[in-house]
Every structure is written in structure tokens, then in C-alpha cells.
Amino acid sequence: MSGYKANTDQPNKTTGQYHSLKGNVVETIGDLTGAQSWKESGRQEHVEGETEYNAAQAKNYVEGAADRLAGKKDAVIGALTGDREQETSGNIRHDKGQAKQELNKPTA
């Protein structure tokens, strides 16, 4: 029914959530009407949407970790060399990376 294929280039949390929700709706319609094809395609789209969401979340978490490390390195080098601009930009990058990680913490 749906023909939905997860975006293989870059996972996206928004489209993952959309397809997860849409899959639930289609599956519910299938349950209510007895249309097995709707039920199955809805379940499949839901699973694919959840998979895309989780992949995007993991990708964003890793990117946040990389930004934190690179920012910390720049901040330390800036502090050691007296380059306040590098130190400040490093601290900003570190903080942005930390925020990105907080927003994308894996759920248990």
C-alpha cells in the first residue's frame, strides 16, 4: 500500500516520525476494516519510520560528540597560544556539540 522506502542518503528524524505515525494510522484502518494489505503495509511503514528516526538520532549523537571533541581541542589550543578567538569559537562548538548530544540521547 504505502510503497514507502526509507531515505537511504541521510536518515531524518522528522520524516522518520512522520512515516512511523502514518504507518500506525494505516495499520489501524486495516485493523478496523479487516483490510490485511493496509494492516501489513502500515506495520511495515511504521517499522521503517522508526528505523529511520533511530538512525538519524544515532547519527546526530555521534556528530555532537565529534563537535564536542573538536571544540575542546580548539579551546585548549586557543587558551595555550593566547588566541582568544580560537578559544571562544572552540568553546561554542563544544557547547553546541553537547546540546546536540543531549537532544539525541538514545532511549533505553
- DSSP code per residue over the chain: -------SSS--HHHHHHHHHHHHHHHHHHHHHT-HHHHHHHHHHHHHHHHHHHHHHHHHHHHHHHHHHHHHHHHHHHHHHT-HHHHHHHHHHHHHHHHHHHHTPPP-
> Rounded distance, CA 48 to CA 15, Å?
10
- Is 106 part of a structural domain of the chain? no
| Cα three-residue angle 99-20-16, rounded to 5 degrees | 40
- Is 66 part of a structural domain of the chain? yes
Helix axis angle, 13-33 to 36-81, nearest 10°:
160
Predicted local distance difference test score (pLDDT) of residue 9: 79
- Is 107 part of a structural domain of the chain? no
- Is 88 part of a structural domain of the chain? yes
- Is 1 part of a structural domain of the chain? no
- Is 48 part of a structural domain of the chain? yes
> Model-level pTM greater than 0.85?
no
- Is 108 part of a structural domain of the chain? no
In the chain, the number of structural domains is 1
Domain region containing 58? 13-101
pLDDT tens by residue, the chain, 108 residues: 445 454 457 899 999 999 999 999 999 999 999 999 999 999 999 999 999 999 999 999 999 999 999 999 999 999 999 999 999 999 999 999 999 999 999 876
> Rounded distance, CA 108 to CA 96, Å?
24
Predicted local distance difference test score (pLDDT) of residue 30: 96
> Rounded distance, CA 63 to CA 87, Å?
20
Predicted local distance difference test score (pLDDT) of residue 2: 46
